[in-house]
Amino acid sequence: MKHSPEFLKLVNEAKSRVRQIDIEGYKKMAAAGEPHTLVDTREESEWAAGHVKGAAHMSKGVIERDIEEKVPDKSATIVLYCGGGFRSALAADNLQKMGYQNAISLDGGWRALKESGLELTEP
């Protein structure tokens, strides 16, 4: 997908402020049993087409509205993913602004997750 220059600028600014993790780092985190909430920030149609088993769904359009109810502990680790790591970086940036100290964007997103060997839920 081709993204506009201003969108990419916004994403790169967000990425400069948030912690990111790659798929190997996430797999190690999950294998070690590190407590975290995995959140899919993609749209409903993307979620319905497949997602990581056990992930919560809060699309970029609603995560800021719903996160405090789903994850009230602002020190909890939240790993966010989208299609490739752009929307999740924007969401992580906003969660940090809301006081969440451990919001992490999964670089590579769904594309990396599909090839990760992690258990997926697909239609």
Please say if the pLDDT value at position 123 is more than 80. Answer: no
The answer to whether 106 and 29 have CB atoms below 8 angstroms apart is no
pLDDT digits (tens, 9 = 90+) for 6-23: 999 999 999 999 999 999
CATH number of the domain within which 95 lies? 3.40.250.10
Please say if the pLDDT value at position 50 is more than 90. Answer: yes
Higher pLDDT, 1 or 104: 104
Structural domains counted in the chain: 1
Q: Which of these, 64, 109, 81, 89, lies nearest to 13 by C-alpha position? A: 89
- The least confident of 34-43, 63-72, 97-106, 114-123 is 114-123
- The one-letter amino acid at 28: K
pLDDT digits (tens, 9 = 90+) for 25-42: 999 999 999 999 999 999
Q: What share of the chain is helix, strand, coil (3-state, %, to 5)?
A: 45, 20, 40
DSSP letters, 8-30, are HHHHHHHHHHSEEE-HHHHHHHH
What mean pLDDT is predicted for residues 89-112?
A: 97
> Residue 94 sits in which domain range?
5-121
The answer to whether 88 and 80 have CB atoms below 8 angstroms apart is yes
pTM for the complete prediction? Answer: 0.95
The SS3 of residue 83 is coil
> What average pLDDT does the chain have?
96
